[in-house]
């Protein structure tokens, strides 16, 4: 599967725009939220404005988790015929941690350690990442809509892995490549190493 991923990625203009938008997204709102309702309102308004800027550059909002917001990258910023998503690290969470940066770094480190290993086919490929892990890019996958659709192969490989990945419909998708379908883990940023 890795050979099939080698011809897709970000153009230099895509790396530049993702880096700029990640900086705008993560660092212009990088103060901790307080109990002050006015500050919270200002932060929500500011995040909404940033989302509009990102979407005005042609990025399509897909969803968000506790630490990251995911967009589909417009084709003019990509190489190859496969669609790509970008996961932008979100601003500080309530306890002051940069959870999105931690999740992005975790995915990059796991991918770099395992891309030629036994579980490489289990993981959605990290195609690129930004400075300080402000963003990561991956191929766009179709979401698995319920836990029953998750392949036994994914479950079996996960159980024999040194990592403990959360296997559920929110974290697993189908990567379609050259008439082949691969069930992969889309979100492995919050993984535990099993000793």
For 82-141, how does the pLDDT look when each residue is reduced to its tens digit (9 = 90+)?
A: 899 999 988 665 555 678 888 999 999 989 988 888 788 888 999 999 998 999 999 998
| Residue that wins the pLDDT comparison between 158 and 8 | 8
Looking at residue 130, what is its pLDDT?
A: 92
C-alpha 187: how far from chain center:
6
The count of other CB atoms within 10 Å of the CB of residue 50 is 19
What percent of the chain has a predicted confidence (pLDDT) above 70?
A: 69
Best-predicted range by mean pLDDT (8-12, 30-34, 71-75, 191-195): 71-75
What is the pLDDT confidence band of residue 6, given thresholds at 50, 70 and 90?
Answer: low
Phi-psi region of 188 (alpha: psi -120 to 50; beta: other; left: phi over 0): alpha
How far is Cα 155 from Cα 159, in angstroms, rounded to an integer?
Answer: 6
Looking at residue 173, what is its pLDDT?
A: 81
| Residue that wins the pLDDT comparison between 76 and 173 | 76
Q: 2-140 belongs to which homologous superfamily?
A: Phosphorylase Kinase; domain 1 (3.30.200.20)
How far is Cα 107 from Cα 133, in angstroms, rounded to an integer?
Answer: 10
Looking at residue 137, what is its pLDDT?
A: 96
How far is Cα 108 from Cα 187, in angstroms, rounded to an integer?
Answer: 11
């Amino acid at each position: 599967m890795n050979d099939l991923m080698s011809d897709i990625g970000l153009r230099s203009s895509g790396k530049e725009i993702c880096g700029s938008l990640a900086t705008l997204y993560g660092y212009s709102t990088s103060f901790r939220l307080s109990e002050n309702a006015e500050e919270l309102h200002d932060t929500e308004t500011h995040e909404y404005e940033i989302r509009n800027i990102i979407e005005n550059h042609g990025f399509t909002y897909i969803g968000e988790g506790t630490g990251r917001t995911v967009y589909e990258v417009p084709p003019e910023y990509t190489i190859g015929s496969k669609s790509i998503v970008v996961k932008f690290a979100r601003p500080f969470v309530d306890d002051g941690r940069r959870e999105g940066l931690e999740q992005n770094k975790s995915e990059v480190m796991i991918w770099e350690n395992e891309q030629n290993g036994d579980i490489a086919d289990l993981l959605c490929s990290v195609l690129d990442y930004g400075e300080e892990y402000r963003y990561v890019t991956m191929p766009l996958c179709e979401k698995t809509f319920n836990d029953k659709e998750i392949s036994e192969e994914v479950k079996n490989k996960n159980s024999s892995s040194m990592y403990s990945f959360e296997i559920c419909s929110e974290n697993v998708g189908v990567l379609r490549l050259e008439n082949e379908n691969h069930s992969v883990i889309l979100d492995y940023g919050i993984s535990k190493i099993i000793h």
